[in-house]
């Protein structure tokens, strides 16, 4: 999500793959809540894309219909990700 727009399904796949390597199981509700939090804090943007109309910003809760939402890290979110990566390298 930090380098391009990701579908909800792609994010689920990445979380499942990482979780299987690290051990913890993360529920669908937890993933939806985390994505919603990233959008609310300005670290990510959520969009609905369509072939027949412009991209639509998604604001607020999208927990029930996240499957058709695309996510993209904002510059603000990328800065925080780099900070986390530098801390994990210590």
For the chain, the domains span 6-88
> ∠ CA 31-13-26 to the nearest 5 degrees?
35
Measuring CA to CA, which residue among 56, 52, 74 is closest to residue 3? 74
Which runs of E-coded beta strand occur in 1-90? 6-7, 44-48, 56-57, 70-73
Whole-prediction pTM: 0.77
pLDDT band at residue 16, thresholds of 50, 70 and 90? confident
* Residue 1 pLDDT: 55
Task: Please tell me which residue, 24 or 44, carries the higher pLDDT value.
Answer: 44
In whole angstroms, what is the distance from residue 54 CA to residue 5 CA?
15
> Residue range 13-31: average pLDDT?
80
Q: How far is CA 26 from the centre of its chain?
A: 14
Q: Are the C-beta atoms of residues 6 and 70 closer than 8 Å to each other?
A: yes
pLDDT band at residue 12, thresholds of 50, 70 and 90? confident
> Residue range 47-53: average pLDDT?
83
């Amino acid at each position: 999500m930090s380098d391009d727009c990701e579908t909800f399904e792609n994010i689920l796949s990445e979380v499942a793959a990482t979780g299987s390597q690290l051990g913890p199981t993360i529920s669908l509700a937890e993933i939806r809540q985390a994505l919603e939090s990233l959008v609310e804090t300005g670290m990510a943007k959520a969009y609905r894309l369509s072939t027949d109309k412009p991209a639509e910003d998604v604001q607020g809760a999208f927990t029930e219909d996240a499957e058709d939402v695309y996510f993209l890290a904002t510059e603000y979110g990328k800065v925080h990700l780099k900070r986390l990566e530098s801390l994990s390298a210590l």
